[in-house]
Amino acid sequence: MTTFSELINILFWDLTAAILLYVALNILVRSLYSKPSTVRRNLPPGPKGFPVVGALPLLGNMPHIALAKMARTYGPVIYLKVGTWGMVVASTPDAAKAFLKTLDTTFSNRPPNAGATLLAYNAQDMVFAHYGPRWRLLRKLSNLHMLGGKALEDWADVRSSEVGHMLQAMLSSSLRHEAVALPEMLIYSMANMIGQVILSRRVFETKGKEVNEFKDMVVELMTSAGYFNVGDFIPALAWMDLQGIEKGMKSLHKKFDDLIGRMLDKHLESAHKRNAKPDFLDVILSNHDNSEGERLTTTNIKALLLNLFTAGTDTSSSTIEWALAEMIKNPTILKTAHNEMDRVIGRDRRLLESDLPKLPYLQAICKEAYRKHPSTPLNLPRISSQPCIVNGYYIPENTRLSVNIWAIGRDPDVWENPLDFNPDRFLSEKNVKIDPRGNNFELIPFGAGRRICAGARMAMVLVEYILGTLVHSFDWELPVGVDEMDMKEAFGIALQKAVPLAAMVTPRLPPHCYAP
């Protein structure tokens, strides 16, 4: 006799098969009855894919690598059918420029997806918001009061103080002959920097369980939001959550919502005690409206804080981690950086942000890390608002766009010996003027155009200042018993090191240089 649970299981799989069959027949019927056109024949080349799911199975666990291989076969602009959606991928500087500069207006919006809906408060944030008045208000307030040049100058003392706390913790680990777990240190420091700017307080007073939980939450968000979720591409199957991604997103969103809610409550409770200059949250709470009549809700504000605390910590920290890993793996690069810093700064004080323009080799190291290990390997997706032509190919309306920044950084037609980590390439006459802020499409770690990462300027300051301070302050080497640096990647919106960097540090400066 069939048990009730067995019956439910049979019905579930019968229903699943029926849905798949329905979707497949629907696609087949539409393809049989649709009229052939020259427009359809002029789509960019790409792999055929499979019925119903299209090219989704071809992307595997490392889509940026799979798409880079496809580009070598099909060319700089490829077109894939992923479920019911079309997707175009640009994999060279010229192709990226065509989409992100020439057709910037056409590709100014983000496609709908579970990450935007379930994590980012139904796209009420700045990253996923529809291009329009609310997005412009969020961007304007963020640039004026946190992410722009003047705002960064105003909060320089916060960065210096938090870096001092991190150095002190690393020095303590050194004296105990313990390896430094770099990702935790960086997340702790950067979250406190952002906390002081946004909320006028350090969000983590001590490095411990709470910090590690926050780091795990940030990594989980960046990983899950980077998945190619079947439900995003085959809407008829979204309710089934076949990969379990949406269930995880809902749970993670609740954790972040609770955390951000507590931050807002504490900020409001302490308002009468704060006599210092207004922080970022004070500013956005008092600037709800813009000239276009857009009003920020509490949900918009919580979504924006989610952006700033996650993207503001994870992407910069992963770039610093990759750069240090490459320098430990290549001791000659580390020695050259030390020599430059000792010549410019000396060894009786800490690095200051005002020293950075005088350290071209350090800046070259940062650019090389952006090139070889871009924080977002596939630039955040966009979607076409109307049909367009690129390189003679027709791109239909509602086509998703991915720019493979990882592939551009490793293209042998663009970079000599692209798999080598070689900062000297940015000191040569050919590349010395290449800038990562979105105008040189050989190096676009933050994207380009109107949807370029809003925090690009802040990220560059954080990466140069923190990486420079860590290099100047310590010698770095692998822990005893670890013979080789593991450089494997873990895919997500942000490109993580699969094995987090742990290293032994030896101080190079007098003890007073390690105080907050």
Q: What is the pLDDT of residues 144-196, one digit of tens each?
A: 889 999 999 999 999 999 999 999 999 999 999 999 999 999 988 999 999 99
Whether 77 is in a domain gets the answer yes
Question: Does the pLDDT value for residue 54 go beyond 90?
Answer: yes
Count of Cβ atoms closer than 10 Å to residue 9 Cβ:
12
Q: What is the CATH number of the domain that holds 304?
A: 1.10.630.10
Amino acid at 49: G
Three-state SS across 494-507? Answer: CCEECCCCEEEEEE
Give the separation between CA 468 and CA 324, rounded to whole angstroms: 10
| Lowest-pLDDT range of 98-112, 216-230, 323-337 | 216-230
> Checking DSSP bridges between strand 382-383 and strand 180-181, what pairing results, if any?
unpaired
Domain span including residue 118: 35-514
Give the separation between CA 148 and CA 455, rounded to whole angstroms: 8
Whether 347 is in a domain gets the answer yes
Is 513 one of the annotated binding-site residues?
no
The predicted-structure confidence for 311-349, as pLDDT tens digits, reads as follows 888 889 999 999 999 999 999 999 999 999 999 999 999
- Residue 410: band (very low, low, confident or very high) from pLDDT cuts 50, 70, 90: very high
* Residues present in the chain in total: 516
* pLDDT at residue 278, as a whole number: 83
Q: Which of 290, 334, 354, 305 is nearest to 505 (CA)?
A: 334
Amino acid at 60: G
Whether 271 is in a domain gets the answer yes
* pLDDT at residue 6, as a whole number: 40
* pLDDT at residue 275, as a whole number: 65
The predicted-structure confidence for 126-144, as pLDDT tens digits, reads as follows 999 999 999 999 999 999 8
- Residue 10: band (very low, low, confident or very high) from pLDDT cuts 50, 70, 90: very low
Q: Which residues contact 424 (CB under 8 A, 6 or more apart)?
A: 364
Whether 8 is in a domain gets the answer no
Give the separation between CA 188 and CA 203, rounded to whole angstroms: 9
Give the separation between CA 467 and CA 365, rounded to whole angstroms: 10
Under 8 Å between Cβ of 207 and 299: no
Number of domains the chain is built from: 1
Structural element, H or E, at residue 464? helix 456-473
Give the separation between CA 334 and CA 182, rounded to whole angstroms: 17
Task: Report percent pLDDT > 70 for the chain.
Answer: 90
Residue appearing with tokens 């949807």: 451
Give the separation between CA 245 and CA 167, rounded to whole angstroms: 37
* pLDDT at residue 267, as a whole number: 87
What 3-state DSSP class applies to 383? strand
Calculate mean pLDDT across residues 345-373.
98
Instruction: Give me 121's structure tokens.
Output: 């408060």
CA angle 113–117–118, rounded 5-degree value = 115
